[in-house]
Structure 1
């Protein structure tokens, strides 16, 4: 094990080797130092950040320092992972609309006692070994309203893209801020910063629009939903069609109760304009005209605006409506017979 406390030995070795050998030795020194720190579990004391970047020497901390291939680490807050409104708990698990609204409006927000996480990296420059820290700050969350910190995943997510990306784009993999947390705080801002680049993507812009529409529809204007508007329009159309058919069906029922024949010698032509009584039209058309003269505006509006093949007063429409009415009467009679405990059948005959 190389003793890093004595830098003089390191200097002497570096002078003795050629340039290529210096590079190999330098890489070996970095590897040995990382392994030494990991095995000894050296801890670094986390302090409150005063700037996005701070350079300090190695010190103790409440969190164990783990090194990756780039000789860097992430020190996170010991905040509890049991937060209910945590976007990290719903990655790959689509919530209900109510849960989605709670996540968008009442997501976990760091309080005054929150210990902000930071990205840490060891830098070896000549004879000095220093630690560079890049903190996540409240200003980042304030500047980007879609940015949320997940205590369970210990990283950042775009709450709009996590919830609405699947339904707005066909991109198969989104990476950080969407599928996996962003826990490297070294390059958040700037022209090529992670947050700036993500904010300019097309799928992010689409998701932001979808999120705003969801919040607007769910909380403020539920009657403005496209589904509700289509349903209301359909219900209105159904009510109008029933109002058009009601006087026609009532006229057929009246003829049936009074045993009036519906059709006459001529049942063609427009009901509204054909006022010639010598046309020998049937009782059905005569009763319809009588209703219109008596003030039935719904029937008058229907016959005056409908297409010729949608007036429901032709002989074909009459036969179809009579058949439907007959089936309903037969169904009602059968239900009454089935519900009765006893019933009788009366048979009659005629001499001819």
Structure 2
């Protein structure tokens, strides 16, 4: 076993370095070949996220999460998407025809390269061709009439598969092709059948009067079935929003606790005649109370909400925040938050996502990744804690709580070092007391090992040199986490911290004071002060790139191999996280908020946000003469500006200025928003629920976190999604 040296106290843990670094916010330039795949589950193991420097010209594609055991799934198509088969049930087919063609209204449709031009579908064709529908899944157009009534006997040998089954996507000649199809015989016959279906009665109803009564009765039953589904959806939403379990250990009728889903359903049955009639008089093989139906309802809710989120993100500039943790089943779970500017709310909003949403890196302006905080937390026993308190009272010491070393938060690192430094004597005595009184050989061995490590010159020196350095860092860190962060002041604090660390590295007084305090502390605690072993420089030819340097004293050795190395690594870390381009961007936005930008600030914003610096400068000159503008350089000033421009309806006048503040507000400061998902995760996936599938966990987490979206969900959309999942021959008419 290799002997530990002083450098071991400052070495970065290889596992934590790759996963658990501090929060990094990266502003990306657009790259046309990048696409993202967001997926949530990864078996035990770390997620390697490649960091991209700010304003890197050709950033590599970042993979937010890579799963080794499952393939990422695409967003489920809308139930009315033309690629889905038409309902075989008569009443459901009639309802589908009544809803009309599926015409999603996008501002920008996917583009296809046709020669030297990029062409796409356009929503203007909806108004010209009422029968036209579009499938976002396959990026193709269909004819609603021909797709629904292509089986007409008059269309034998004349059916066009491009507008019925395969889809039309030759956008180069789309106008001529649509006009040609509209004049075809097959379209004429299909459109006539569609008109007759909507206006006239079916032939079997005309020939048989009882048929109409039977259809009316079936329609009433169908509406009743949908009412029952509304109640099941209400129960599912209630349990999902509160994070409660659905299933029971035993779900037979004679069992006292059959799970919350069944218990709530039978509770509502007492007061709801519709649900009572369904459970008592309806088909017993279609009560829709089974665990499979529960999973289908959860998946249907998740699919509808996810589709709404995808529509909200269309053509929006977004930022992505991600963090990682392990659940009670020892699976790595990644929380991904999408942040974008919502024009209806006039502020940035954040949404929790897990599965692939089809996002493009062309729309992503920043990413913010925090370290994966995996690991076990070992709690100290009450007996050992009482021993520590007893020792503290005996030596008249104010006890401070010991902290675990955090791999992501500088404040926690400072508190951990400060707690050990201030409680050093009490810790030594407490561990020695435990070692003398315990009867467990394993505890005794660990206690002796801890005492041996604590009573070393290297450990005490590490405490003394880290304490003042971390104190400087935590002060700047608290400033950067202030609620009203001043952009200009924050950049100054970062520069001051860098200058101070450079000064400490060249200041011999700082190191001499640390070394003297360490020697004094060692003498007070009977810790041996090591001496440097004299070594001779080898006379042989050395082909190594490293220089042979041997210090004459311990003080000189620590200055060269420890103090300078620590300060050098800290400065490199600060330069990586707060490089000059990042600081220039923050400084530029701060000066723009004060309406005092320089030429360098305008050029920086032009490069970062693709604005015209001349137009931006002209808009700022006009804003200076408008009374009552919200001047300032804090983060709240950004939202005051957004509110000011929207209230006076001036955002269309000051386009470049509005674009700068909106895009900057979209960039996340930290990935703390991801941590709210972790607290929800501990409530959803408990030890008693650790065997649930990843798909079910994804759906429940989305419903649990995005409760506002869940409250506003359309129940009819959920039922239509449920119908797609379940074959019509195995379910009720819905």
Higher relative contact order (CA 8 A, sep 6+): 2
Higher percent of residues as helix: 2
Taking structure 1 as the reference length, the TM-score comes to: 0.36
